[in-house]
Structure 1
Amino acid sequence: MGWCADNRAAVQGEVSPDSVASLVAKAVKLLKRVPGAWKWSRNVAKKAYSLGKTAGVAYLKRKFSEMHSWSPIKWVWKTILAFSNVPTLWAIIEWIAHHA
């Protein structure tokens, strides 16, 4: 029972605020390393933020799915999405919209 109680957050898929902040920091660092990704992300994140959480996340996903498969910006966002859920992705959008 102790093991289950200790790992309840991992089992339920909950993410602590500290780990969300860590994922946001890693995503921003990754976006700034890829040429053009930060500027593109800044523009899309501002529009996504104005749409609200659900529509904004859908807007971001739609925008990068429209990119060519060879685009480095698309691949950096696919990498970010592989390690993010919707609340974490929204935190990334919020951070970019407010700090860019």
Structure 2
Amino acid sequence: MLRWVALVLVLVLIALQVKLWSGNGGVHEVESLRAAVKKQGEDNDKLTQRNQALGADVDDLKHGEQAVEARARAELGLIKPGETFYQVVEKPGAQAPAPAASTGGR
């Protein structure tokens, strides 16, 4: 009788081990979920840094005239009264076009 009880307990232990290692919610699934959580955390950190940089840009644009002026010069090519605008045009086939430059008094 004692052998049968031991045999049943060993079979139950083997069945539980199989479920633990290969079943739904087993070790492999837990490890894959941990890897997914780690990757998502890294993605969240990158997006948090990007959001902070964008927030700093927004604050600069709201509260600083220099940031607005720099953007207007760089993106729109605007100049102040009394300044002279020079544009350098490269020959076709040149490596990289030169950015527009403005000089003059303030």
- Larger Rg belongs to: 2
Structure with the larger RCO, 1 or 2 (CA within 8 Å, 6+ apart): 1
Structure (1/2) with the larger helix percentage:
1
State the TM-score, normalized to the length of structure 2.
0.26
Taking structure 1 as the reference length, what is the TM-score of the superposition? 0.27
